[in-house]
Amino acid sequence: MKKIICLFFLISILTACGQSEEGKESAGEKWSEIQQSGKIVVATAGTLYPASYYPEGSDRLTGYDVEVIRELANRLGLEVEFEIMAFDAMLAALQSGRVDLITAGPREESKDKFIFSEPIKYSYSTMIVRSEDLSGINTLEDLKGKKAGGAATTVYSDIARKYGAEVITYGNATNDVYLRDVDNGRTDVVINDYYLQSLALEAFPEMDITLHPELKFHPQTVNVVTQKEATVFSEKIDGVLEGMREDGALTNISKQFFGGQDVSKKLDSDIKEIEGVE
């Protein structure tokens, strides 16, 4: 009997060791693949000023998220290749391994499926409305019955639906399409990131639209996102981003794209949390 018990424990120990080694191998596999290829493949919108866009008359992609990733890749000794796709397709592309990373904020259903770095951007949500009457919206509850322009699966569309708005969905549309529809009355509101919307308004001064002067809600972040199994790769990313915070690289890139503002720092503003929305 003692021999049987000893044999059982020996098998258990060997099995555990084997699983541990397999886990380590799996954790480092993505990083090894990337090192061998010499590049990282990144999904990005290419239409979202100033995070990821093509300047007028240029075929070179740029933006805050884009340049942060370029600097990250450079410090890792890698090339970077961007794939343009709609936001709704990015998580699926990351999960399948078609791309190596994306930039996005954590949501409850994605926290267990992916690894999120420390934030590269802190912000909150607000809304663009018509200047003359704020599109009849004075509180979040006034969204009921309104038409909100947005992508199908973003948190901004979730907020609109939560308060009873009808979401008018778009593909990978540029900012001017969303804003023009508020201006001409096809939609009533666009809910989105404060910094992005404030800069978008500056780009289209001819439109009779404005940022809502009072509504600040849903604090949010943008993070670098990798596959759940890619723990070694994720650790490399965190190490580089920490260095970029310490030497001011994140601040410098932010000021370049956000009118001198530093989006890499936490906000002190009193911003309304919305229950039930991730």
* 59 within a domain of the structure (yes/no): yes
Considering the domain architecture, whether residues 159 and 89 belong to the same structural domain is answered as no
Cα–Cα distance, 52 to 64 (Å, whole number): 7
- Tell me what the mean pLDDT of segment 134-149 comes to: 98
- Tell me what the mean pLDDT of segment 13-41 comes to: 70
* 270 within a domain of the structure (yes/no): no
> Which single residue is written with the structure tokens 């809502």?
212
* 201 within a domain of the structure (yes/no): yes
Contact 219, 271 (CB under 8 A): yes
pLDDT at 278: 66
Considering the domain architecture, whether residues 96 and 226 belong to the same structural domain is answered as yes
Give which of 152, 119, 146 is closest to 212, Cα–Cα.
146
What's the domain count of the chain? 2
Q: Which residues contact 48 (CB under 8 A, 6 or more apart)?
A: 63, 175, 196
- Tell me what the mean pLDDT of segment 12-36 comes to: 64
Considering the domain architecture, whether residues 187 and 230 belong to the same structural domain is answered as no
Considering the domain architecture, whether residues 111 and 229 belong to the same structural domain is answered as yes
Considering the domain architecture, whether residues 38 and 96 belong to the same structural domain is answered as yes
> What's 214's domain CATH number?
3.40.190.10
Cα 274–chain centre separation: 19
Considering the domain architecture, whether residues 161 and 235 belong to the same structural domain is answered as no
* 271 within a domain of the structure (yes/no): no
| Boundaries of domain holding 75 | 29-122+222-257
* 163 within a domain of the structure (yes/no): yes
* 9 within a domain of the structure (yes/no): no
Which structure tokens are listed for 248?
A: 């001011």
**Would you place residue 7 in the very low, low, confident or very high pLDDT band (cuts 50, 70, 90)?**
very low
Contact 150, 168 (CB under 8 A): yes
Least confident of 85-89, 138-142, 164-168, 180-184: 85-89
b/e burial code for range 105-137 (CB count within 10 A of at least 16 → b)? bbbeebeeebbbbebbbbbbbbbbbbeeebbeb
Q: Convert the pLDDT of each residue in 143-188 to its tens digit.
A: 999 999 988 878 899 999 999 999 999 877 888 899 999 999 999 9
Query: What are residue 40's DSSP bridge partners?
Result: 80
Considering the domain architecture, whether residues 116 and 172 belong to the same structural domain is answered as no
